[in-house]
Chains A and B, each alone.
Chain A
Amino acid sequence: MPDKKIRIVVAKPGLDGHDRGAKVIARALRDAGMEVIYTGLRQTPEQIVTTAIQEDADGIGISILSGAHEFYFRRIIELLKEKNASDVIVFGGGVIPEQDVPALLKMGAGAIFGPGTSTVTAVDWIKKAVSEKDAVKA
């Protein structure tokens, strides 16, 4: 009677101290029945990836408002590869200009949810992405 729950690390890399968006998405994922590992502010990419591995997370959601999204996405995706964990899906939100999104997706980000995205959209996307990932593994 296996009873798997979707586990998502919600992280806030970088130095700005605004974690409202991260908290809103954490709450929405919780209400959708997921287990959310909330790591709080000012996380380094190394800390985020180690957390995702120890927590056996299905995905990492990162909230970035500082403008450094390209750096953080690149580094996190690189580290996941290095640690043999590139099956972990990576998605993000925050203040990310639309013209930067294609580059992030090309890098390996699964989805970018801009301001105004309904939490339902994010929840549905995560559920679908995780079930596809598990189907590949099985």
Chain B
Amino acid sequence: MASLTDKALAGDPRAVARLISMAENRDEGLDSLMKELYLAPSAGKAWVVGVTGSPGAGKSTLTDKLIEQLRAKGERVGVLAVDPSSPYTGGAILADRLRMQRHTDDSGVFIRSLAARGSLGGLSRGTREGVLILDACGFDVIIIETVGVGQSEIDIMRVADSVCVVLVPGLGDDVQAMKAGIMEIADLFVVNKADKQGADRLVNEVRAVLEFLQNKDWVPTIDRTVAETGDGVPSLVENLERHREYAKARGRERERARMRARIEDIIVDRLSLQASKLLEAKEAEILPAVMDRKLDPYSAADMILAE
């Protein structure tokens, strides 16, 4: 019987989907499958595009239009769309693909919804592995649509080659555009719903922020779009393609930073798993003392780590 990774590499959508679930669920045996995929000859070729911005900015509708344009160029497109999980029940309504359903009949498109499952950076636990899986399984472009984010959910820059920040008019004044965080990670700005009042002002505000960056070797572009009708999307795709070339040219530098972050994430993941095990083993013994203020939490941590 062919292994799950063999089936996925051969293009079986069920196997691809199953691997992504294993990554989401942190299944045992995941690491060895990921090792296999990372070293597969087909891996490491995909272009990863991030689409981020506030809830309701039009990320899903824009992604739908991006898929259309990229398919017309013959690219195989994978999409990972992240939506929030309930902090109370862990449940989720994943509805990003609602706007992309017309591509479901196209075997050159694979769309997967991911629930954030407690992650706070705009991505979900399985997103990074999801990228590796789709990449190894032959998708040329992988679009990651983040959770609708606020101001500082910037994990996407550690995963994507090209980051689009989607803004819409009417959400704040020009000081918002000067703030740190999400405004700094854009390779491309998209002013969506550009037919709405305030779009010109928003474009000017973003442009004013970018003036400080003129000496950089890539100055973020600004595109006005109406994702609903597709207006402005072809120009956005042109700028994306330019950024793809740019990113490729100075790829190793960014790749180095990214791989370092990746290794760090894996180490932190494993240590945190170990930490919860240690804590679990000692908690009955130590916790009451801390609650009765006979022991401080810092010494408690020292005691647990000394084990």
Interface residues of A (CB under 8 A from B): 1-5, 7, 26-27, 29-40, 43-44, 46-47, 50-51, 53-56, 83-85
Q: Which 9 interchain pairs have the tightest Cβ spacing? A: A30-B91, A56-B17, A56-B21, A38-B95, A33-B89, A40-B98, A47-B104, A33-B91, A35-B92
User: B105-113, B234-242, B260-268, B297-305: which lies at the A interface?
Assistant: B105-113
Contact (Cβ within 8 A) A38 B94: yes
What residues of A have a CB within 8 angstroms of the CB of B104 in the complex? 46-47, 50-51, 54
What residues of B have a CB within 8 angstroms of the CB of A37 in the complex? 94-95, 97, 113
What residues of B have a CB within 8 angstroms of the CB of A83 in the complex? 14
B176 at the A interface (CB under 8 A): no
Contact (Cβ within 8 A) A2 B27: yes
Query: Count of chain B residues with Cβ under 8 Å from any Cβ of A?
Result: 33
Of B13, B27, B91, which one neighbours A34 at CB under 8 angstroms?
A: B91
What residues of A have a CB within 8 angstroms of the CB of B93 in the complex? 26-27, 30, 36, 38
29 contacts between A and B (CB under 8 A): A2-B26, A3-B25, A3-B26, A4-B25, A5-B90, A26-B93, A30-B91, A30-B93, A31-B86, A31-B91, A32-B91, A33-B86, A33-B89, A33-B90, A35-B91, A35-B92, A35-B115, A36-B91, A36-B92, A38-B94, A39-B101, A40-B95, A46-B104, A46-B105, A51-B111, A54-B104, A55-B17, A56-B21, A84-B14
Bound-state CA distance A46–B106 (Å) is 11
Contact (Cβ within 8 A) B110 A54: yes
What residues of A have a CB within 8 angstroms of the CB of B17 in the complex? 53-56
B18-52 interface code vs A (CB 8 A; 1 in, 0 out): 10110011111000000000000000000000000
What residues of B have a CB within 8 angstroms of the CB of A27 in the complex? 93
Contact (Cβ within 8 A) A29 B25: no
B273 at the A interface (CB under 8 A): yes
